[in-house]
Amino acid sequence: MTILVTGGAGFIGSNFVLDWLAADGEPVVNLDALTYAGNLHNLASLAGDARHVFVKGDIGDRALVDRLLAEHRPRAIVNFAAESHVDRSILGPGAFIKTNVEGTFTLLEAARVHLQSLDLAARESFRFLHVSTDEVYGSLPPGAPAFTEEHVYEPNSPYSASKAASDHLVRAWHHTYGLPVLTTNCSNNYGPFHFPEKLIPLVIVNALAGKPLPVYGDGQQIRDWLYVGDHCAAIRTVLARGRLGETYNVGGWNEKANIEIVKTICALLDELRPDAAGPRARLITHVKDRPGHDRRYAIDARKIERELGWRPAETFETGIRKTVQWYLDHADWVAQVQSGAYREWLDANYGARSAS
């Protein structure tokens, strides 16, 4: 028995591959294009492990996907492959349409044909699990109930619009062709191997280097934060017991304003690695907000708890401490991912934003 994981060298995907092999041991075929956020160093501990087969390639390469399905005959596809950063989608939306929409379409079509080649028992056990985001639901006003699975889609960025489109494709391939699909919509993940363009790792890396900590606008944008290890456990649970065609929201029950996150990280770093120059909060710099910035996301994760028995194990306090400590212990990984291309992107995104 084997599963095919797409995007398994990225942040959440690599954590899932490591978690899957530790918890289950079932072999994984890992397909990843190794763009800027895909990093084989995330999987260094699997070197020489026969249970992990890595293939460099694009989910939009139909011939490659067909070959992998025919050769390995996986019992499930878990689709993490996506462009996933709102700021990058604003600067270059085309890549998001190509990967998130066209790539998902290619995977769905390949899975549909593959399913027809299986015997009855294999068809009945096959699953296509699509990993999506809470951002497809849009922005919540203060005090409004959290997103449930029935919430109307209202994406506001090129990224969230492309993910919403992919979610609709997955739903359509289930209802039209009978493809046995499952969808998860998660809140903001954080944890080990997080590429330092996102808020939490960017703040950790910049604070350790004594660089400004850029905070968009007033910093009162609220997100629900989910430790990546909890997310991996939720995906395993949905894959094992989720009802076909259903969507499951996965959240951490941790609504926090961005400025609160930044101050928490500063305090942890001051505790764990004091800076002779003074408290890291001195580095906080408010910059011009990004266009169309959603003010609040919140996930109602009661359905997955009620139906499948999953609930996050980490509080934000325990998860963020583990995350900060991981970055302190893995300075070599941080240095490796901070390539010239990464620095150029930081200049492009933050260079034009004046401090306020």
> Phi/psi at 237 (nearest 5 deg)?
-65, -45
| Residue 36 pLDDT grade (very low, low, confident, very high; cuts 50, 70, 90) | confident
pLDDT in tens, 172-221: 999 999 999 999 999 999 999 998 878 999 999 999 999 999 999 999 99
Question: Residue 121 burial (CB < 10 Å; 0-12/13-18/19+)?
Answer: exposed
| Residue 86 pLDDT grade (very low, low, confident, very high; cuts 50, 70, 90) | confident
In a domain, 22, yes or no: yes
> Phi/psi at 267 (nearest 5 deg)?
-65, -40
In a domain, 323, yes or no: no
CATH of the domain at 298: 3.40.50.720
> Is 352's pLDDT higher than 70?
no
pLDDT in tens, 56-81: 999 999 999 999 999 999 999 999 99
Q: Domain count of the chain?
A: 1
In a domain, 283, yes or no: no
In a domain, 239, yes or no: yes
Active site residues per annotation? 134-135, 159
In a domain, 277, yes or no: no
| Residue 345 pLDDT grade (very low, low, confident, very high; cuts 50, 70, 90) | very low
> Is 341's pLDDT higher than 90?
no
In a domain, 148, yes or no: yes
79 is in which domain, residue-wise? 3-190+227-252+293-313
In a domain, 330, yes or no: no
What pLDDT was estimated at residue 112? 98
